[in-house]
């Protein structure tokens, strides 16, 4: 089940909200409703993987309790933490990377003239990257003393299972939501704010990202793209990914508000960034902070000299790239960002957004777009084909094959996406930014969002299944 589906909009969500608000207004009683609803939401995909999901939840709850019993940062607690992290990573490694490892090994064996190793393909459980990372952050925070181990298993299970963010983030931390599991406010104003935020994300996804998607698929599917084809496709994907993923985050945050939760923000106009360091403070912010706090710092951060700082930056982004998917393209994408971050650190580049510098913005945007080509490509060979076309400079026109596949509505939507990103980005650079046009309470929201939301539903109903891009991660 996905948010951008009629089943979710007209069956699951109304029934869930009815059950939620008919339950007495006590946080822990409503936590049960959220937990059961989240398990139904997850089981809609595959019931069997719900058992894995529950097992990971129970395991990390017990590990958290064991760490708490032995005291903050004690040697015994450290051993429990190591055991918990190891089992989490082994679980993630098997389901997410076993196929990749065997395929890579078989490719090597093939070049050496050996028979490939027999292997039964492992199915990747949806959302496993997110709930494993959140589990690790919980037991690590209990060990560090940053949060108390909860003695309420339903609170912890609800934290792991919260359906608004379960499939594609943001990446939560228990310490940021612990108080809200014990008490949260439910007001008509908060519900209205959440509804508008959900509709805003729905419009981003269905109206913009899904309409741009064919431009991207056609460009990356070309056997012999021209320079114009490659650049056009890369720019289209840059827009599609942002509106798809930020749309999901808006919907997740909106659903949380409708249940009384206030979640962390996940995007802050990343395409106005003037350095890659700033980009990662604006793009998928919950993952960026997770990688910093639980990976970069654990590797040593900047505490052991300049060269090791560069190494830690590079390794953090390399592993962050692999977290996105079991493919060499993701590893290279992460390595690309890690390399640029290290270069910026060496040059003393600061993420200063107090003054807009067009040349710095243009260079940063170029680095981001080039990275997205590798991120989107099915394999390294396809990415190299796109890069070769981008820098072959064989003319300014689109190929006849690509041009014939483009419709006027797709072009208009891409232009709209670029205009919206530019306008909202420019607004965010002001010393005292104005509220976004679609912010809750803004007059335009009442007259623009509702009609667009209705039209987006009609569009969705007339089309096929529309998954979010980050579901694969």
Distance, in Å, from the CA atom of 466 to the CA atom of 207, rounded to the nearest integer, reads 11
pLDDT digits (tens, 9 = 90+) for 167-218: 876 899 999 999 999 999 999 999 999 999 999 999 999 999 999 999 999 9
pLDDT digits (tens, 9 = 90+) for 55-84: 999 999 999 999 999 999 999 999 999 999
List Cα–Cα distances, 369 to 29, 79, 273, 330, 433, in angstroms.
Answer: 47, 43, 13, 14, 26
- Candidates 165, 284, 324, 440; catalytic one: 324
Average pLDDT over residues 412-435: 82
Distance, in Å, from the CA atom of 246 to the CA atom of 262, rounded to the nearest integer, reads 16
Average pLDDT value over all residues in the chain: 91
Contacts of 188 (CB under 8 A, 6+ apart): none
Element (H, E) at 30: helix 27-43
Contact 193, 440 (CB under 8 A): yes
Residue of 438 and 137 predicted with greater confidence: 137
Burial class (CB within 10 angstroms; exposed 0-12, middle 13-18, buried 19+) of 316:
buried
Task: Return the closest-CA partner of residue 394 out of 222, 228, 224, 221.
Answer: 228
Quickly state the pLDDT bin for 26 (edges 50, 70, 90): confident
Which residue blocks in 112-226 are alpha helix, DSSP H? 128-144, 153-161, 163-166, 174-182, 188-203, 210-220
- Residue 447 pLDDT greater than 60, yes or no: yes
- Residue 435 pLDDT greater than 80, yes or no: no
List Cα–Cα distances, 58 to 160, 293, 452, in angstroms.
Answer: 10, 24, 42
pLDDT digits (tens, 9 = 90+) for 222-231: 999 999 999 9
Active site residue 324: yes
pTM of the model: 0.92
pLDDT at residue 301 in the model: 87
pLDDT at residue 378 in the model: 95
Max alpha carbon distance in the chain (Å)? Answer: 69
**Which of 93-107, 226-240, 295-309, 450-464 has maximum average pLDDT?**
226-240
- Looking at the chain, the whole-number percentage of residues with pLDDT higher than 70 is 94
pLDDT digits (tens, 9 = 90+) for 80-117: 999 999 999 999 999 999 998 998 888 888 888 888 88
pLDDT at residue 364 in the model: 97
């Amino acid at each position: 089940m996905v948010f951008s589906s009629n089943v979710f909009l007209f069956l699951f969500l109304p029934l869930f909200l009815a059950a939620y608000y008919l339950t007495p207004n006590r946080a822990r009683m409503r936590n049960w409703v959220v937990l059961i609803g989240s398990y139904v939401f997850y089981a809609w995909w595959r019931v069997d993987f719900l058992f894995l999901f529950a097992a990971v939840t129970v395991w990390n709850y017990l590990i958290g309790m064991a760490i708490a019993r032995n005291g903050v940062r004690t040697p015994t607690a450290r051993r429990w933490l190591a055991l918990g992290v190891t089992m989490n990573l082994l679980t993630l490694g098997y389901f997410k990377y076993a196929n990749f490892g065997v395929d890579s090994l078989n490719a090597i064996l093939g070049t050496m003239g050996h028979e490939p190793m027999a292997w039964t393909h492992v199915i990747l459980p949806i959302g496993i990257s997110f709930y494993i990372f959140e589990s690790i952050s919980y037991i690590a925070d209990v060990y560090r003393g940053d949060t108390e181990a909860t003695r309420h298993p339903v609170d912890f299970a609800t934290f792991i299972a919260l359906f608004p963010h379960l499939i594609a983030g943001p990446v939560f931390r228990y310490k940021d939501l612990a108080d809200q599991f014990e008490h949260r406010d439910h007001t008509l104003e908060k519900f209205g704010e959440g509804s508008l935020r959900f509709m805003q994300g729905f419009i981003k996804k269905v109206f913009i990202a899904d309409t741009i998607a064919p431009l991207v698929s056609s460009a990356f599917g070309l056997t012999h793209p021209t320079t114009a084809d490659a650049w056009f496709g890369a720019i289209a994907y840059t827009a599609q990914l942002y509106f798809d993923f930020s749309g999901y985050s808006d919907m997740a945050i909106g659903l949380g508000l409708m249940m009384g939760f206030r979640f962390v923000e996940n995007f802050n106009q990343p395409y106005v960034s003037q350095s890659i360091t700033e980009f990662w403070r604006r793009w998928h912010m919950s993952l960026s902070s997770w990688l910093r706090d639980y990976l970069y710092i654990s590797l040593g951060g900047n505490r052991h000299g300049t060269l090791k700082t560069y190494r830690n930056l590079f390794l953090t982004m390399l592993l962050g790239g692999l977290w996105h998917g079991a493919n060499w393209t993701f590893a290279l994408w992460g390595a690309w960002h890690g390399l640029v971050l290290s270069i910026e650190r060496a040059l003393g580049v600061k993420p200063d957004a107090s003054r807009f510098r067009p040349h710095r913005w243009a260079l940063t945007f170029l680095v981001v777009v080039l990275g997205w080509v590798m991120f989107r490509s099915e394999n390294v060979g396809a990415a190299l084909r796109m890069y070769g076309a981008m820098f072959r400079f064989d003319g300014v026109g689109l190929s006849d094959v690509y041009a014939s596949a483009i419709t006027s509505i797709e072009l208009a939507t891409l232009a709209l996406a670029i205009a919206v990103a530019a306008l909202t980005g420019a607004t965010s650079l002001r010393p005292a930014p104005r509220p976004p046009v679609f912010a809750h309470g803004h007059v335009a929201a009442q007259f623009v969002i509702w009609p667009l939301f209705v039209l987006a539903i009609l569009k969705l109903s007339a089309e096929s299944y529309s998954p979010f891009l980050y579901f694969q991660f």
